[in-house]
Amino acid sequence: MPVFTPGRHPAYEPIGRLRSNPLSGGKKSGFTELNLTAMVDMFTVIVIFLLQSFSGDDEVSVNKNLTLPDSEQAAPLSERGPLVVVMRGEVLLDGEVVASLEDEAASEPGIAELTEKLVAIRESNSKIEEELRRRDPSRAVKPFDGNLIVQADEETDFKLVRRAIFSANEAGWVHLQFAVRKTGTGTVAAAGH
């Protein structure tokens, strides 16, 4: 039996055709096809699952340096609004320092900087509401609700908290909720609707 030198033999037929194609010259194409429909469906299912499994009800962010007072008669937070934090001589509005209150016995009953910021938030919210009503006249009129959440450190003098409350009322925010820690559960709740 004669012995022959092995020649070039394709592993299977498509490889042989690729090498013989004059357009591609045996090179692989850089383009691959993805089935995007299946991938979009998968991500949609994941997003829906995450949205349904996450519940943000009755939750409010608490400053890490803040110790909320305890309360037995606390109820879950019912409304949302700007967050005013009074602690260690500072007043924060939505995480931003608004005023530093070194003088506890001030001549003014309120905090002018806090009043200005709250009035600005109220005016910007009303402008947004007017613009939405202008774009869609059938939109229901949403009146200003004046909901505000107040957090105060348990070590804070109530005179400072009272000044912040006065400023909020002066700016038109009259529905105040005080964030407290519910005794026994440790969850954040509201007291003093």
Cβ atoms of 79 and 141 within 8 Å: the answer is no
pLDDT digits (tens), the chain, 193 positions: 677 677 766 555 555 555 555 555 555 566 667 778 888 999 999 999 888 877 655 566 676 777 777 777 777 777 777 888 888 778 888 878 887 776 555 567 878 888 888 889 888 888 888 888 888 888 777 777 888 888 888 888 888 888 888 888 888 888 888 888 777 766 666 665 4
| pLDDT the model gives residue 17 | 56
> Contact at 8 Å (CB) between 70 and 181?
yes
Alpha helices in 136-174 (DSSP H): 158-170
Domain range summary for the chain, segments of one domain joined by + = 13-53, 70-191
Tokens of residue 165, six digits: 């409350």
**Rounded to two decimals, what is the model's pTM?**
0.60
Decide if 124 contacts 58 (C-beta within 8 A).
no
Cα end-to-end distance, the chain, whole Å? 103
Helix, coil or strand: residue 31: coil
pLDDT at 9: 60
Helix (H) or strand (E) holding 84: strand 83-87
At 71 the pLDDT is 78
The C-alpha atoms of residue 175 and residue 60 are separated, in whole angstroms, by 17
